[in-house]
Amino acid sequence: MALAAVPAASRAGFRTVVGAGRTLGDGFANGNRHANPRRQDHPSKPAFSFETPFTQTLPTFSFPGLGLPMKASPRLFAAFVAMFAFLLPLAALSQERGLEIDIVGGNASALPITVVPMPYQGGGAAPETDVAAVVGADLARSGQFRTLPAADMVEKPTRGSEIQFPTWRLLKQDFIVVGHVLDAGAGSYRVEYELFDVAKQERLLGFAMTARSSALRDVAHQMADAIYEKILGVRGAFWTRIAYITVTGTGKGARYALMVADSDGYNPQTVVRSPEPLLSPSWSPDGRKLAYVSFERGNSSIYIQDITTGSRELIASFRGINSSPAFSPDGRRLALTLSRSGNPEIYVMDLGSKALTQITNQFGIDTEPTWSADGSSLYFTSDRGGQPQIYQVPASGGSATRVTFQGRYNASPTVSFDDKKIAVAQGSGNVYRIALLDRSLGSPRWSTLSPGSLDESPSFAPNASMVLYAAREGRRGVLYAVSADGRVRQRLVLADGDVREPAWGPFRAQR
């Protein structure tokens, strides 16, 4: 094999990487993953090098039998779609177009990296997915990297042995990623790629991954995750999914959908459709279920739905408001807001027994519970002090302490995996922006992440590198992903309709 010619020095360098290519999906591990025996002993996932190539087949993710009206016979449903096609352009169009992506800001300190196009070198039909383009877009979107435009790539190596390092030093690149796509039989493709440090001329990563055509975007996102982690020491969150609500039509003709898409907005799938408002999607920690609020019963109710099978369960439909579901980090409890006692209070439901524990008891609106990373406490929005502010309360109940003191209006808290950062929707007059409270440096420090006038619903990526939020542009809602330093924003625009209420899903597990 040509790759056996990799110099001994880079192979030695490569060996330190062993384990970095561990199966994604364990908890956020910066610690002793290099010494994780379970991973290294796993027979199907050996140490990664081209001598012992890492091969895996990705599952394809399908969404059979989703949504309520879709349970009706296909012909009826088709007739329904035909009748309302002019009202419901979402169904077909969103599947094809996905979300558009624009980078609207920039970061001068971002690391320069070249992701060279990875051509198909097999003998059959080339895959539709441009793997290198997906990897490059991911890295650029994070705000941590600045990718070299393809037009500036004077050479296009596809293997480490073809890289002329002086060229890339001249182009002031810190890192270069090269690779190519081969056939793997039975319509599958094999992507081989390598990451090099340009200055040291050292190979940092060398992986091969096999997948069907439909899963090549997943492969690309995992490549970006591996590159991100290797260079920054932080687990990448590109191979994750987001949930959000779309609305098409207005007034009585409004149609709502709960959608799930890849973190870059591609591959949108409808999970639930409804003529009544849908709200507040919340991911289970294993990424298999979504809790959400639906008005299909006339009043707000909370459901939990299995994304893959479409089966769902009515969780709460009490008198008054049933809103703001949030799974605990262990997935066994659900925090929620109920106003059955007369005004909105925070409750925790044990999902096994369905027993409810009332957490707050205060004359005022208490809502939007969100769990601390260890599950021991809840952050929530309360106007007990006159205006909405963020408070924290033990998850077993007790007295609440106020967390936010700057800003007239702070609501919709989202908490980073390490509890150090809280992003909120912060209001001042008629202007609502996403603001970040960073508590990692002793005294709390605020920064503003968004420039908009009606920004809302912030949601942290599982590695806290980015925050997803909703903004209004004209009469429609759009989603933005902003880097946690606020310097790079990317807009995810649904081709049609109003997009809102984004929720960033957990890390995904391979199997």
Partner 1 sequence: MNTITRVLLTAVLCTAAVACSKKVKEVPPADTGPSTGVVDQTGPTTPGAYGPGDLDTDACLRQRVVYFDLDQDALRPEFQAAMACHAKYLRDRPSSRMTLEGNADERGSRDYNLGLGERRANSVSSALQANGGSGAQITVVSYGEERPTCTDSNEDCWAKNRRVEIVYTAK
Q: Does 360 bind partner 1 (CB under 8 A)?
A: no
Tell me the site size for partner 1, rule CB under 8 A: 39
Q: Does 480 bind partner 1 (CB under 8 A)?
A: no
**With respect to partner 1, which residue has the nearer C-beta, 68 or 254?**
254
What is the secondary structure of 371-439 as a DSSP string? Answer: E-TTSSEEEEEE-TTSS-EEEEEETT----EE---SSSEEEEEEE-TTSSEEEEEEEETTEEEEEEEE-
Q: Does 277 bind partner 1 (CB under 8 A)?
A: yes
Task: Tell me which DSSP letter residue 120 carries.
Answer: B
Q: Rounded distance, CA 183 to CA 189, Å?
A: 5
**Residues counted in the chain:** 511
Structure tokens at 192: 């081989």
Q: Does 388 bind partner 1 (CB under 8 A)?
A: yes
Q: Bridge partners of 285?
A: none
**With respect to partner 1, which residue has the nearer C-beta, 383 or 418?**
383
Pick from 295, 362, 446, 451 the residue near partner 1 by CB under 8 A: 295
What is the secondary structure of 264-315 as a DSSP string? Answer: TS-S-EEEEEESS-EEEEEE-TTSSEEEEEE-TTSS-EEEEEETTT--EEEE
Pick from 222, 269, 457, 463 the residue near partner 1 by CB under 8 A: 457
Q: Bridge partners of 438?
A: 421, 445
Contacts of 272 by beta carbon, 8 Å cutoff, 6+ apart: 66, 67, 68, 257, 258, 278, 292, 294, 305
Site string for partner 1, 394-413 (x = CB under 8 A): ---------------x-xx-
Q: Does 294 bind partner 1 (CB under 8 A)?
A: no
- CA 43 to chain CA mean position, Å: 30
Pick from 318, 454, 495, 510 the residue near partner 1 by CB under 8 A: 454
Pick from 250, 353, 399, 443 the residue near partner 1 by CB under 8 A: 250
Q: Does 455 bind partner 1 (CB under 8 A)?
A: no
Residue whose entry in the numeric block shows the structure tokens 């982690």:
229
Q: Does 339 bind partner 1 (CB under 8 A)?
A: yes
Q: What's the closest the beta carbon of residue 411 comes to partner 1, in angstroms?
A: 4
Helix, strand and coil content of the chain, in percent to the nearest 5, comes to 15, 40, 45
Site string for partner 1, 114-133 (x = CB under 8 A): --------------------
Q: Does 66 bind partner 1 (CB under 8 A)?
A: no
Q: Does 427 bind partner 1 (CB under 8 A)?
A: yes
Task: Report phi then psi at 26, rounded to 5.
Answer: -75, 175
Catalog residues that contact partner 1 under the rule CB under 8 A.
250-251, 277, 279-280, 295, 298-300, 320-321, 323-324, 337, 339, 342-344, 365, 367-368, 381, 383, 388, 409, 411-412, 425, 427, 430, 432, 453-454, 456-457, 472, 475, 500-501
